[in-house]
Structure 1
Amino acid sequence: MVKVDVEYCPKCNFEWQCKMLENFLLQQQPDTEVACYQGRQGSFEVKINDNLVHSKLQTFAFPDHESVLENVRKAEDGLPLEKVKEQPIDNCVLM
């Protein structure tokens, strides 16, 4: 069984992002174990079988769900994991 742990920032209200990722993964790979837990400020860190594959603290972006799924499938097949692609950033400009 593949285990996905997601550390998220409760102050930033990132729990909903974690729940979206969890729902997506469980729809695609129902036998995956996904755990969301509160962590450091600004965090959204994704580990698959204790291997860090995405860090919002480093990239300032959320992970692409399809890319996380690809790594879950690799882990299931015993293949090496890769860093997860980032979600595209919308072209929002602050003034």
Structure 2
Amino acid sequence: MEDVVVEVEYCNKCGYLLKFEELKKHVADHHSIVTVVGREGRRGSFEVKINESLVHSKLQTLAYPDYNDLGNLIEDAKNGKSVNRQCKQQPITSCAIS
């Protein structure tokens, strides 16, 4: 089993700290021996990397990552596979266009 580090850059001004904490809890509940680190970053960001490979960008998709698919990518990384695809995204449900 390989060491896996999940890094999340999030915008605290947008209230994404709570989403980071939710993601961190989900990973901890479903995946052993995974390090999850977060840091406040760019406005509107919720960028997720697994072992330094970008797997999700809210700046690009306007959505959050799908936690189950993120789990699949984490398992791939734990098994020594390269993480070379984008994570699926959660449906966007709170979008308002003005």
Q: TM-score, normalised by structure 1?
A: 0.92
Unaligned regions of 5+ residues in structure 1, if any?
A: none
1:87 to 82, 85, 90: 90
Match of 1:74 in 2: 76
Deviates more, 1:9-18 or 1:80-89: 80-89
Q: Structure 1 CA distance, aligned partners of 2:5 and 2:31?
A: 11
* Residue identity matched to 1:87: Q
What are the residue-to-residue correspondences of 1:1-95 with 2, within 5 Å?
A: 1-81=3-83, 82-90=85-93
**Aligned residues: percent identity?**
40
- How much is the aligned-residue C-alpha RMSD, in angstroms? 1.5
Q: CA deviation at 1:30?
A: 2.3
**1:7-27 C-alpha deviation (Å, 9 max, x unpaired):** 000110100000100000011
Q: How many residues align?
A: 95
Deviates more, 1:82-91 or 1:30-39: 82-91
Q: CA deviation at 1:56?
A: 0.4
